[in-house]
């Protein structure tokens, strides 16, 4: 799983008439739990909702991957509301600095496990030497 920047906004703004299309961008609408990806399909610009609209909603939890907490290229963080079978997505915080972003790119981070109240992230590349702010969106 790759980490990427997620744009948040009210579902009333998800129409491409309001929020312009940007190929490859991701959008999260916390009021209705929508998660959308913009993609160009056979020359046609489309905004796809990639999670079902079950009315269950979602929640976002902020956490930090601490530079000092890596062990064997992995780190487990506490995520309130996470269970072993919770669906969701993890991304970098909108507040990330340029140095932190470079560390994320070099680390090639991915999710390697989850459990009750925890999420484990691993570095395929260089282990970050700075703290990394993340956001986890839990789908209910």
pLDDT tens by residue, 50-81: 877 666 667 889 999 999 999 999 999 999 99
Q: Which residue ranges form the domains of the chain, and what is each CATH number?
A: 6-49 (no CATH), 58-139 (2.60.440)
- Mean pLDDT value across residues 14-25: 87
Question: How far does the chain reach from its first CA to its final CA, in angstroms?
Answer: 20
Could you tell me if 29 and 12 are in contact, meaning their C-beta atoms sit under 8 angstroms apart? Answer: no
pTM equals 0.65
Q: Which of 25, 100, 105 is nearest to 9 (CA)?
A: 25
What number is the average pLDDT over the span 112-136? 96
**Is the pLDDT higher at 59 or at 133?**
133
User: pLDDT value at position 55?
Assistant: 62
pLDDT for 98-120, tens place per residue? 999 999 999 999 999 999 999 99
């Amino acid at each position: 799983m790759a980490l990427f920047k997620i744009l948040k906004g009210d579902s009333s703004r998800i129409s491409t008439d309001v929020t312009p299309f940007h190929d490859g961008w991701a959008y999260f609408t916390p009021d209705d739990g929508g998660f959308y990806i913009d993609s160009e399909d056979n020359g046609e610009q489309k905004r796809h909702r990639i999670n079902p609209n079950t009315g269950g909603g979602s929640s976002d939890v902020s956490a930090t991957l601490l530079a000092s907490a890596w062990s064997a290229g992995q780190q487990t963080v506490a995520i309130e509301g996470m269970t072993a079978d919770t669906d969701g997505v993890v991304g970098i915080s909108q507040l990330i600095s340029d140095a932190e972003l470079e560390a994320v790119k070099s680390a090639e981070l991915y999710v390697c496990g989850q459990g009750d109240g925890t999420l484990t992230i691993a570095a395929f590349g260089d282990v970050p030497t700075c703290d990394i702010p993340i956001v986890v969106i839990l789908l209910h």
